Amino acid sequence: MTLATKTTFKGVIPPLVTPFDADENIDVEALRAEVRHHLAAGVQGICVTGSTGDGQMLSLEQSVTIAKVAVEEVNGAIPVIAGIIRDSTAEVIRYGKAIAATGVDALQVTPVHYLFQPDEETTIEYYRRITEATGTPVIVYNVIPYALIPATTVYRILQEVELVVGVKQSGGNIHQLADLLKAAPTEGVVLTAVDDLLYPAYLLGAQGAVSATLTVVPELCVAQWDAVQAGDHKTALDIHNKLLPVWRSIDGPNMTVRIKAALALQGRNGGLGAHPLTPVSDGERAAIRAALVEAGVLPV
């Protein structure tokens, strides 16, 4: 494994879907094609087995397979992050050791959350134990609404736990993100996952994004990131207004299946959803198509 630095994870980092076949096995060739698509789009990293990748549904063996495929396809060109969504320190470490052996650059780890919200010291110790046991950089995935890690605690984790290299701030909307960016941690990057507010998050100082919209339309998202870096705020705002309807069309129940429908409309193969996720309705597909047309991704 390449030991990632604390400045590695910046820019557009799409969280990939996990393509399932009809037997709910991993469609490896579809996954390889998606990785290649994102590489061609010029993204700065990829994330697998996160929420967009149905990480909570994946066995250890499936998670390892997906991470291994991603690492092989990327071949060192950009960082690979692998998500772990488990509900005990021991399970996270078990997954983490196995996934780390594939050569991923970092693990993206949610707090434990099922009927339990650890206090501040326990949360800090949780991430410390994971990094010490796996020897692998970790990005805090702060997404669980009923186990949201306060900005003050995230700041302490970034400052105090050596191998925690960043946070993907999703839960708490932009208010939590704003508090964290104002605190200005010096020991890790702050990435946004507030899809409808990517542009203002960059203006506030977010150093990149890991969010579902990036997966659906990576080319637009890379163009927006580049525009912000160049100070071209008219272009960045124009792209924001194109991205907003795309996010609105995929946000909601069965989101990962909606995302796969958006990929299919563009000629990409995101595979099937795993039960109990259900296929999109004709109405949902029509709304997604309309959003992609509005964004200029599909013809009228």
Name the residue among 207, 229, 205, 226 with its Cα closest to residue 6: 207
168 catalytic? Reply is: yes
3-state secondary structure of 205: coil
The angle at the Cα of 83, spanning 102 to 111, to the nearest 5 degrees, equals: 130
Catalytic residue, chosen from 68, 168, 242, 260, is: 168
199 catalytic? Reply is: no
User: How is residue 11 written in tokens?
Assistant: 């820019």
Number of helices (H) and strands (E), helices first, in the chain? Answer: 12, 8
DSSP 66-108: HHHHHHHHHTTSS-EEEEE--SSHHHHHHHHHHHHTTT-SEEE
Catalytic residue, chosen from 95, 126, 127, 141, is: 141
Q: Which strand (E) or helix (H) includes residue 48? A: strand 46-48
Residue 23 CB-density burial (10 A; 0-12 exposed, 13-18 middle, 19+ buried): exposed
Name the residue among 30, 6, 4, 65 with its Cα closest to residue 267: 30
Phi, psi (rounded to 5 degrees) for 69: -60, -45
Packed helices 151-160 and 173-183: angle between N→C axes, nearest 10 degrees: 40
Report how far residue 264's alpha carbon sits from residue 258's, in angstroms, rounded to the nearest whole number.
Answer: 10
Catalytic residues: 141, 168
